[in-house]
Copies of this chain bind each other. A is one copy, B any other.
Amino acid sequence: MAEMEVVSRHRCFGGTLTVYAHQSAATRTRMTFSAFVPPGDGPFPIVTFLSGLTCTEQNFTTKAGAYRSAAERGLVVVAPDTSPRGEGGADDPAYDLGQGASFYVDATEAPWAPHFRMHQYVTEELYELCEHLLPIDPARHGLFGHSMGGHGALVLGLRHPDQYRSLSAFAPICHPTACPWGEKAFAAYLGSDRSTWAAWDATERIRAAGDRSAAPPILVDQGLADGFLAEQLRPDDLASACAAVGQRLQLRKHEGYDHSYYFIATFVDDHLAHHAALLG
């Protein structure tokens, strides 16, 4: 296992919240993530949260208010950074490309390919680090996220159904190949050949799937005052694809809620309940 640096550690709701840093083999940069371990001995189920554009691991960790519920439910909660940083070199001045904006793919194009491998980082390296570092039962691992990280949670979960037994998302980018954020990022990271994009798009993966009526239900919360809803997020595209293949989807639309962490905080307990129920 990589050498782990403890960046910070706090007692919190009877458990422990630690921020770790380590040199990543997947991204070939220093990566950070937070891990909340509830009181008790474990092994605990675990949920990994993927954050949105511009975030680090700190946004969810400090603002989501998730740990009271996680402590009560006996869940480990892990939140990684959203991209390689710093010495990874490649970046872009825009907020929606490069550092803070990985879209959780494995980039194939220059200058991103050497470092922007967040799919591999999350599903292999971080997944295995959690198994070795934390008192978890790796057979009970769920995935959730927000916005770009909601896209990440859905698509990584759909790509690795044996690893992630429960999925949910807050205001996810549901159909990245059909929205400006996704088209820009996928063109940069995956190249101009759109035939490679569908594998990284939750709506397209579900649409192309066979019968999914036996798959676990997915929970998606969406605020109706979210300024990104119509152009970037497109939850109805996901709902149509799910309906076509029998994928159970609980898509909840909330009057007055926006894209912020206040929206996440309001509903995070429902998400942890969803994961706890599916992870047993």
Contacts and interface: CB of A to CB of B under 8 A. Distances in A.
A10 B258 contact: yes
Main secondary structure of the interface of A (DSSP, over half): mixed
Interface in A245-280: 254, 256-258, 260-263, 265-266, 269
A262 B10 CA distance: 7
Contact of A262 (B17, B256, B263): B17
Interface residues of A, number: 24
The copy count of this chain in the complex is 2
A46 B277 CA distance: 37
Nearest to A268: B68
A52 interface: no
A223 interface: yes
Contact of A256 (B11, B67, B258): B11
A134 interface: no
A63 interface: yes
B223 A13 contact: no
Contact of A261 (B13, B62, B269): B62
A114 interface: no
Contacts of A225: 11
